[in-house]
Amino acid sequence: MMDCAIYRRAMMVDPHDADPALTAHREGCHDCSVYSGRLLRFESRLDQALRVATPSSMTDRVPRSLANRLGMPGSRQGWLALAASVLMAAVVAGGLWLSVPASSLAADVVTHMRGEPNAWRRTEESVPSAALQNVLRDSGLRLAAGADRVTYASSCGFRGHHVPHLVVQTESGPVTVMVLVHEQVLKSTQFDEQGYRGVIVPVAGHGSIAVLTRGAAADPASIQHIAARVLDSIVWTG
């Protein structure tokens, strides 16, 4: 599935691009559909702003023939309308540019996972308690008794920090958990891209966690349930 950042950059170049891949992403992504609507409304308003009048005080100083060619009308209200429209366009355009992420968190999580294919190996052997705690300690947490069995644990470099990367065995098969204490998100975000399906969940005061499966091992509702179970099993120590 196309990444949201790629889609939004393409839309900034041409909001009317009819590429089938862009259309498919927009139809399957609520956030990008909303973004496209905002972009098209902005384009319409910008077009209207370029058509508004300029003040008579200015046109009085310009030869009428030149003023006509430049589309300069004749009222103070027109000048104020032009100024307001240009300001509005600048504000809206700035907001749209800021909403295009340099690289989405979900995309970076997936990229990291693709670099560690062996972590998904199904096994009955749990990570020793001491080794698991060494991985978790720097992020200020431990797992409560009764947590799902952890069969892989590593402290991985991610966006300039070392984060716990765990694989737990669930009824849906191996599930990866990344504890991202340095990554703040506003709300739970589900993703399905490059063969991975998962959710990123905010954790008040402790960043977020990413929970994902490979392929269609679990449906979105099951992944959300697993994420809630993982959160319940975390004991924050720092």
pLDDT in tens, 122-173: 667 888 999 999 999 989 999 998 888 999 899 989 888 999 999 998 887 8
CB atoms within 10 A of CB 147: 17
Tokens linked to 106:
């979900």
Report the sign of the C-alpha dihedral through residues 155, 137, 213, 190, in that order: negative
Q: Which of 209, 44, 25, 195 is nearest to 120 (CA)?
A: 195
Locate 90 and state its tokens: 């600048």
Confidence (pLDDT) at 135: 92
Residues 233 and 175: their CA atoms lie apart, in Å, by: 15
* pTM attached to this predicted model: 0.57
Residues β-bridged to residue 156: 163
Helix axes 76-98, 30-49, angle to 10 degrees: 160
Between CA 197 and CA 223 the distance in angstroms is 8
Higher pLDDT residue, 51 or 63? Answer: 51
User: When comparing pLDDT for 13 and 167, which is higher?
Assistant: 167
Sign of the Cα torsion 213, 215, 218, 221 reads positive
Query: How far apart, in whole angstroms, are the C-alpha atoms of residue 29 and residue 126?
Result: 38
On the question of pLDDT at 195 being above 70, the answer is yes
Decide if 134 contacts 158 (C-beta within 8 A).
Answer: no
Q: Binning pLDDT at 50, 70 and 90, where does residue 228 land?
A: very high
Identify the sign of the CA torsion 82, 87, 93, 99: negative
Residue 26, pLDDT > 50, answer: yes
Query: How many whole angstroms separate alpha carbon 31 and alpha carbon 26?
Result: 8
Cβ burial of 200 (10 Å; 0-12, 13-18, 19+) is buried
Helix (H) or strand (E) holding 214: strand 208-214
Return d(Cα 164, Cα 129) in angstroms, integer. 14
